[in-house]
Amino acid sequence: MSELNLILFGPPGAGKGTQAERLRSDFQLPYIATGDMLRGNVKDGTELGQKAKEYMDRGDLVPDELIVAMAGERLDEEDAQDGFILDGFPRTVHQAEALSKQLSQVGRRITAVLLIDVPDEEVVRRLSGRRVCVKAGHNYHVEFDPPKHDDVCDQDGSRLVQRDDDKPEVVEKRLNVYHEQTEPVVHYYDEKGILRRVDGTRGPTEVHDHIRAVIATLRLEEDV
């Protein structure tokens, strides 16, 4: 298989970022997370950040045209030409179609969409305990993956905080938005035969092992 163009899919809090961290070191692929990119824009006060912030604070999706332009530019960059891991994009069928169009124009396609399946109650547990470092957004969980020292990032020593959109009122909204606007994308990729489901309720290492096995199978299938 020449390139691995992967999408990590699933509800907020499914463990996409956690798995991406592991997969990018397994496969040396650039990691493109639209949520991180947007938060970077908000922090830097860019025009895009100013527009996106109100949607993000409410738990709504940022409008497609803004996201498609931002993700499209990132995918055009040099380091993404031999493969990538996408997290948080596409989140609507319209975004999925735009992505497919952009890739097909240069003879590329998505290799697989890895759906990390987690029920709503578990999402709530994971998001309510999620803590992220202020410097680089490294992920922790107060109960499932605590840092060595309270509220301090193991990797860069910066402070750990709770994301504003991980507060309970916004979590409920994000889950509704996922079911209404993002879940139809599962069907879109399933019909194309590239959806792979992974049980996300297991521990991070088991989920990682499962994803690696799925990727190994994909590679075998392509070689046949």
Nearer to ligand ADP, 70 or 215 (CB): 70
- Spell out a b/e string for 29-64, using b for 16 or more CB atoms within 10 Å of the CB, else e: bbbbbbbbbbbebbeeeeebbeebbeebeebebbeb
Kindly state the smallest distance separating residue 1's Cβ from ligand ADP, in Å.
Answer: 25
Query: Residue 163 catalytic?
Result: yes
Three-class secondary structure of residue 183 per DSSP: coil
- Name residues contacting ligand ADP, limited to 21-80 (CB under 6 A): 34-35, 38, 55-56, 59-62, 67
- Name residues contacting ligand ADP, limited to 129-148 (CB under 6 A): 129-130, 139-141, 144-145
Inter-residue contact 32 to 136 (CB < 8 Å): no
- Cα of 157 vs its chain's centroid, Å: 24
Query: Residue 174 catalytic?
Result: yes
The CA distances from residue 72 to 23, 77, 102, 121, in Å, are 22, 9, 7, 33
What DSSP line would sit under 81-93, residue for residue? TTEEEEES---SH
Choose among 18, 7, 11: nearest CA to 132: 18
Residue 208 binds ligand ADP (CB under 6 A): no
Query: Residue 130 catalytic?
Result: yes
Residue in 39, 74, 91, 126 annotated catalytic:
91
Nearer to ligand ADP, 63 or 222 (CB): 63
Sheet-wide strand order for 130-133: 139-141, 130-133, 160-161
Residue 83 binds ligand ADP (CB under 6 A): no
**Interaction mask 150-179, ligand ADP, x per CB under 6 A:** ---------------x--------x-----
Nearer to ligand ADP, 66 or 194 (CB): 66
Chain positions contacting ligand ADP, by CB under 6 A: 10, 12-18, 34-35, 38, 55-56, 59-62, 67, 88-89, 91, 95, 126, 129-130, 139-141, 144-145, 165, 174, 203-204, 207
